[in-house]
Structure 1
Amino acid sequence: MKFVKIDKEKFKPTKNSVKELIFLAYLSFILFICTEVMSAMGTTSYGYIENIDLYLGTGILFILLGLIIFVFKKDEKKYYIGGFIVFLIMMPFMKYAWDKFFAFLDVPDENIWCLLLDYLIILVMLSPAIFLKKKVFYTALISVILILLSIANYFISIFRGIPLAYSDIYCIGDALSLTKSFLGDNSILFISAGVTVLIICLVFLFIKEKRGFRISSYSNIVVFVILAIGTYSYYLNLINTKTLIYYSANMVKTYRYNGYVYSTLESGLRFIRFKPKDYNEDSIMAIRKEVDSNTTSSKKATLASTKLTNISSNETKKPNILFVQLEGFMDPMAIKGVMYTKDPIPNFRKLQKEGIYGKMKTPSIGGGTARTEFEVMTGIDLEFLTDGEVPHYTILGHEILNSVASTLKKQGYSTHAIHNNQGNFYNRNKAYSSLGYDTYTSVEYMDNVERTETNWAKDTVLSEYIKECLGSTERNDLVFTISVEGHSPYPTDADKYDLPLKVVNSSLSESDKNQIYYYINKIHETDEFIGDVVDLVDSMDEDTIVVFYGDHTPALDLLNRDEGGVDRTTTPYAIYSNFDLDTNFKGGDISAYQMSTIMLSLAGVDLGPMENVHKTLSSEKNYKKYLELIQYDILFGEDYYLSEDEKTTSSNLKMGTKDIKIKSATVQGNQICIKGKNFTRKSVVFINGKEENTMYVNKNTLRVYYDKDDIDNIDDIVVKQIGLHNIPLSQTNSIKLSN
């Protein structure tokens, strides 16, 4: 029997093979530091560590990288000795730099082992270069991709308070539009030019790089295999010892503790829809039987977290039901060591003192408005989905789900959604149709919209459109309103603004104080909007119940550092009605996915499928397990749970409650004057299918400059409401030019 003869010479390490390994190991360390620091900077004030420390540390790393390249290029013994001496001299500086970086990352000592995993992952990603002939090109390509992703993560974290995740691939269009809005055209051109230059450089490098030896020594293959197996084994060990953490609602903490690169990869793995253990038709039908039995035998509603009983009310007369979701809303008085010239939220405080109130656990922290919105609307717990996932894209783009809207529509309600932001942001104009809403009034259908210093629409405009929705039909109404004024980012130089409320008696840094100063003034205006809604409800002769709640805590740097003594997983809520609620329910701690159960129960209306699940099973020991199984079945499984009469259909969603119409179009000098009704500043005239520069005069008049020589060729004039990405949300009737 012959054995394969192994050429031992091929497995001997060579000078080139050792160089490759040293270079990849050190470059991986630089990329590790850069990605982690960029991730931390995105969710933490830049002033949290002196700039000089960052510059010095980064400078040291790149000096040593240059030293390695120089020594390898010279390839002489004296340079190796000299390089080693310089390396020893710089070791104290490297230790200083690492201590500063580690302090900046703000990671507990025990979680340094998670950061080691992050470094190993980057090293594994770079290691295939040892098998390639164009080694420099591959190394540069992976390095550029990692750096660009970390830069994108930095800006996304600043904007919305939570890091970049795999699910954000569905939101690329929205991200580009927001980048344009908040950075400006010049910045976009600069960024585009930079990316273009990088691509050109990579292409040039690929063309110019000479093909080297594919494998300088087979010993490197052995090293790579050991590294790959070792990294995976190390990962399993961190999982088994529960060193790696996972906070479904706190992506910032998860990314900070586990490391940026690992957390980003994990967000992709979590996107795979694994079937839960014990999922089958028998298990689902057993749960259904228990829900039906409890629903039939008892009218009582119980929530395990609050011990609630008998929260049904107003069973003979159906009230209007209002949900008001407040952007970044929390109680500023909860921040320790900070005082203000007056209470920023007196109206909300009054509701807490006089009515039903408590704390609501939200599915995200610092950002992710649509996630909380989804839980409240559908009763679905996002803990069983993936990090940062926005179901408006990943689920509602192709699935039709039961919601408070579809449930109340079956009971004769008109259903409306309102948001003072772009109508197709987060895919809402399609998602709301999948949820069963009749109308959706976005900022494109609003007039007299005021803007904050950071260009978000102020919330004061919303009360007018809530009133408009309530008066749009003779039926009872559901109005789901989402505010935006309190949105991040919060300027660290806000002291340049002259705002009425001030921060006093604070030992905070100037950047933290300025952020809080700006924030309290914005939510003070939101609180004034709350007062307007309460006044509106009181002025009505129809029974109406309304809940106000925060979508998530704000992305203040102080809170991102887990300082200030604030529970970032919850936001306050308060329920108010203009009629007596015959209930023993006083509020307490709930989850966002339980809010619809509470509101529909208090209103005395029939509950939907998920509301019945929460009402009947929340006191059960296996409540969360049941939720996981039911939700998987409804969202991704065989759909055993829902009966045929519980399944719903999408709605013919109307944008805005009022029709936008053209009445006439006439020539006036070198202009075409379009007369109609309900125009807004987002109304754009299209002539013969071509978009024209449109002048908004008032809600009844638009004007367009037009070449007199082409007037005879006009066949078709329409007005479209233009949303994000320059996409039309709706259009008017078509009209011809009047003589």
Structure 2
Amino acid sequence: MHLNLKPRNHLPKKMRPKRLGATISLLLFMICLPILSVAGMELLERGTLHETVQWITSNRSLFLLNVAISFCLLAFIYAVVGSLAISGSIATLLLGLMALISYMKVKMIGEPFFPWDILLNKESMDIASLVTGKAALLRIGAVVIAVILVFLLKWVLPRVSLSIVSRIGLGLFSLYALYAFAIKTPLAGKILDHIGVNEIVWNQKENYANNGLALAFTLNVKNSIVQKPETYSDQSIATVAANLQEVGMQKAGVKKSVDADSLKGKKPNVIFIMSEAFWDPTLLTNVKFSEDPVPTLHRLQKESTSGYLLSPQFGGGTSNVEFEVLTGNSMSFLPGGSIPYQQYITKPVPSLASYFADQGYKSMGIHSYEGWFWNRNSVYKELGFQSFKSSEHFVNPEMKGYFISDAEVSRSIIDEVDKTQDPMFMYTVTMQNHGPYDEPRYGENQFKAQGDLTPEAKTILETYAQGAHDADQSLQMLIDHFQESDEPTMIVFYGDHLPMLGLDYQVYKEAGFIQTSNANDWSLEEVKKMHSIPLVTWSNFDMPKQDIPLLSDSFLGAHVLDMLHMEKPANFKLNAELAAQVPGLLSNLVVDANQELHAEVPESVQALRDDYRNVQYDLLFGKQYLAEHIDHDYLTKTIQDSYNAEFDEEHVPPQTQGVSNNTPTEKPVSAQ
């Protein structure tokens, strides 16, 4: 690398100090700005100067590694742009935005900013609108000021230019260094091991807190690619297939749990309803309501098969719950914070939708929000749905709060079932009760909360309870309709995750439901409570009542197929085998058959857990060995040629403004 100036011997003596000053300015700028940038990023995310200084002084090597990554980013931009001040302002803006987004995500759903979040397109832009408090605005202001100050250095710094050869060399070096740490090449791995970097992929919040934002973000790049399990092979999958075939023969004579006479020779409609953020607010400790906000839920818990689902998400990430339920796969085998709908489902993947289609059902997805969200338009096609009815295909829908009402969704379910001759498998996702809940968007809330809550927490909880009540009543609307129908119908109703009731788990903490807002310090029992969602079922035909203490979302499909006494395909059959031993499976919590809690899978179940992980890898990323041994047609089913033909644009009237019920200006939705 050399400055594009005359050789030293040919420079006039009076110019040599200027050249030296310019070189010193370049070096100081390239060293000091990354140091300040990393300190600023950590301050933005950690929130206090004390915590930031404590982390820097306690983790000097990690701090310097974060600085090195920031330096490489700055150097690469400088190599491309060629101006110190402009390059510095761009680097400051990028790093500042990274810290801001990570801060907002942690506040909202307890997860930092991941590399794959960049793929969220519109969803990623929705975060800022939901965090507009004083702390967020101060951070935004700080980033803007920092960018402006760095840019103003354009008129202060001496003009320095590098030759084109030097810029190319600097750019290539910087880019390779970033690549090496992102992919963790052998040399980078040795450096990370020498420094003592401990990457905690199963707890990303702690990972970022320990290693620093820039380093943790960079290390997560490689997690966008799921590593092949060490035990995955054609032989291991063949063994799994053989075991499943043996299990199938052993259970061939099991007594049916469905009364065939009550079905009148018809296949039952199977309707899954995943209600946005639906939960039972009466479970909150030290809080009472003026009246029961969810009476239908509580009645069904006494009368029908019911229990709790263990969700992999809190406060957001709805599509990950869909992924688990529809495919039977588990988020616990994927990188923390990953989003399969955005990252992994780019080809046909066997699911409940494709299975029911094979059984003569019409498989339909319904979601009362826009089809692009979480890439559902494309993903539902790959999962084998015949059609997908998103908000664009609702005509003159009733609005309540910010979104299409839950009652409108129930009416849509009834309409689609009544006009379809074939039995239906329907997977429905509602939207009305999506957060935030800090404004009384329904006008006067019917349900008054009593307890030791701040006025802000009280408003949030009452607004949420009103929405939960509407979801509860929309379920009752469906029951009332199908109770009188001659079509046998089963409804499976549950939420996707607990609601985000204020930042930093505000309502949960004030109500005494958890002891701390730091999720890293939760007990296993608290982790279980913060991920347990009510599940209720209903049918208009005879079905024995079952109590389900706890069941992971990924095991729900297998359980429902068992309830209907339908033959399970291979992957769901394996789910049922594992669920019998560990019904609850998260990356940081395992619940065994005795309802005892573990941080890791018990040794006695690890082999079966490995089979489950290998099959999941085989279906999503591997060579589809399983299909060579069992259920070939189902496991290799292609997309439906007529996907969404009934909702082609030319056949659908344009959506008009819906009937509003106390509807304020619509807020964009977070990446939920």
TM-score, normalised by the number of residues in structure 2:
0.72
Partner AA of 1:590 in structure 2: L
Q: What CA deviation, in whole Å up to 9, does each residue of 1:615-635 have, x standing for no partner? A: 234445422211111111111
Q: What code does the residue aligned with 1:124 have? A: A
Q: Percent identity?
A: 22
Task: Find the counterpart in structure 2 of residue 268 from structure 1.
Answer: 221
What does residue 83 of structure 1 align with?
A: none
Q: Equivalences for 1:196-235 in 2 at 5 Å?
A: 205=154, 210-211=159-160, 235=192
The Cα shift of 1:555 comes to: 2.0
Residues 126-165 of structure 1: pairs in structure 2 closer than 5 A: 126-128=70-72, 138-154=87-103, 162-165=111-114
Look up the match of 1:652.
Answer: 641
Structure 1 pair 612–519 and aligned structure 2 pair: CA distance change class (3 A): same
- Shift of residue 268 of structure 1? 1.8
Verify: 1:681 aligned to 2:655, yes or no: yes
Check whether the contact 2:238–2:625 (CA below 8 A) recurs between aligned residues: yes
Matched, 1:460 2:439: no
CA distance in 2 between partners of 1:653 and 1:486 (Å): 32
Q: 1:652 deviation in Å? A: 3.5
Q: What's the secondary structure of 1:622's corresponding residue?
A: helix
Residue of structure 1 aligned with 2:625, choices 640, 647, 650: 640
1:520 & 1:117 partners in 2: Cα distance? 48
The answer on whether the counterparts of 1:314 and 1:582 sit within 8 Å (CA) in structure 2 is no
The C-alpha deviation readout for 1:9-37, integer Å capped at 9, x for no partner, is xxxxx999999999878755654454345
The one of 584, 588, 593 equivalent to 2:554 is: 593
Q: Does 1:574 align with 2:536?
A: yes
1:419 aligns with 2:404: no
1:267 CA displacement: 3.0
- The alpha carbon displacement at 1:601 in A equals 1.2
Contact 1:499 1:521 (8 Å CA) reproduced? yes
Q: 2:463 aligns with which of 494, 498, 518?
A: 518
The residue correspondences of 1:10-409 to structure 2 (distance < 5 A) are 30-36=36-42, 38-39=44-45, 97-98=49-50, 119-128=63-72, 138-154=87-103, 162-176=111-125, 205=154, 210-211=159-160, 235-236=192-193, 245-247=200-202, 255=208, 259-299=212-252, 312-314=257-259, 317=263, 318-396=267-345, 398-409=346-357
| Residue of structure 2 in register with 1:429 after alignment | 377
Classify 1:650/1:475 alpha carbon distance in 2 versus 1 (closer, same or farther; 3 Å). same
Please report the TM-score for the alignment, with normalisation by the length of structure 1.
0.66
Change in 2 beyond 3 A, CA 1:258/1:560: farther
Q: Quick check: 1:300–1:312 contact (8 Å CA) kept in 2?
A: no
1:193-215 residue CA offsets vs partner (Å, 9 max, x unmatched): x99x9699869949986227999
- Once the two structures are TM-superposed, the CA of residue 586 in structure 1 deviates from its matched residue by 1.9
Alignment equivalent of 1:553, drawn from 480, 498, 506? 498
**Contact in 2 for aligned 1:340/1:504 (Cα 8 Å):** yes
Cα distance in 1 between the residues matched to 2:554 and 2:94: 37
Tell me, yes or no, if the aligned pair for 2:202 and 2:335 is still in contact at 8 Å. Answer: no
Q: Measure, in 2, the Cα distance between the counterparts of 1:626 and 1:204.
A: 59
Q: Does 1:628 align with 2:617?
A: no
> Contact between 2:105 and 2:127, CA under 8 Å: does it hold in 1?
no
Superposed CA RMSD in Å reads 4.4
CA distance in 1, matches of 2:200, 2:613: 20
- CA deviations on 1:637-678 (whole Å, 9 max, x unpaired) are 11111143222110135548678877xxxxxxxxxxxxxxx6
Aligned with 1:614 (options 567, 575, 578): 575
Give CA deviations for 1:590-627 in whole Å, capped at 9, x if unaligned.
Answer: 11110100111111222223211112344454222111
Q: Give, in whole Å, the separation in 2 of the partners of 1:300 and 1:203.
A: 79
Residues 512 and 234 from structure 1, CA distance in 2 versus in 1: closer, same or farther, beyond 3 angstroms? farther
Corresponding residue for 2:398? Answer: 450
Distance 1:17 1:609, change over 3 A: farther
Q: Deviations over 1:483-515 (max 9, x none)?
A: 112212232x5499532222222233x333332
**Cα distance 1:327–1:247, how it changes in 2: closer, same or farther (>3 A)?**
farther
Distance 1:521 1:237 in 2: 55
Offset from partner CA, 1:380-422 (integer Å, 9 cap, x none) = 11222223332223233x3101111111111111111111101
Deviation at 1:697, TM superposition (A): 11
Deviates more, 1:28-37 or 1:118-127: 28-37
Residue 239 of structure 1 and its aligned partner are, at CA, apart by 7.2
- CA 1:347–1:247: 2 relative to 1, 3 Å: farther
In our comparison, the structure showing a higher alpha carbon Rg is 1
**Structure 1, gaps ≥5 residues long:** 1-13, 41-53, 58-96, 103-108, 184-190, 216-220, 302-309, 663-677, 683-695, 699-723, 725-739
Partner Cα separation in structure 1 for residue 464 and residue 31 of structure 2: 44
Which amino acid in the other structure matches residue 507 of structure 1?
A: L
**Distance in structure 2 (CA, Å) of the matches to 1:294 and 1:486:** 42
In the other structure, the counterpart of 1:720 is none
Cα distance in 2, alignment partners of residues 387 and 400 from structure 1: 23
Aligned length: 560
What is the identity, as a one-letter code, of the residue corresponding to 1:490?
Y
Choose from 481, 485, 497 the match for 1:536. Answer: 481
Partner residue in 1 for 2:431: 484
Structure 1 residues 698-717: Cα deviation after superposition (integer angstroms, max 9, x where no partner): 9xxxxxxxxxxxxxxxxxxx
Deviates more, 1:533-542 or 1:268-277: 533-542
Looking at structure 2, the residues matched to 359 and 21 of structure 1 have their Cα atoms a distance apart, in angstroms, of 59
Which secondary structure state, in structure 1, belongs to the residue aligned with residue 272 of structure 2?
Answer: strand
Distance 1:261 1:126 in 2: 7
Task: From the superposition, tell whether residues 658 and 20 of structure 1 become closer, same or farther in structure 2 (CA, over 3 Å).
Answer: closer
Q: Distance in 2 between matches of 1:457 and 1:167?
A: 29
Distance 2:260 2:606 in 1: 30
Indicate how the Cα distance of structure 1 residues 213 and 390 shifts in structure 2: closer, same or farther if over 3 A, else same: closer
Q: Distance in 1 between the 2:257 and 2:156 partners?
A: 73
- Other structure's SS at 1:642 match: helix
1:164 Cα deviation (Å)?
A: 2.7
CA distance in 1, matches of 2:117, 2:467: 28
Q: Sort the Cα spacing of 1:210 and 1:19 in 2 relative to 1 into closer, same or farther, 3 A.
A: closer
What residue number does 2:564 align with?
603
TM-superposed CA distance for 1:324, in Å, is 0.6
CA distance in 2, matches of 1:456, 1:115: 46
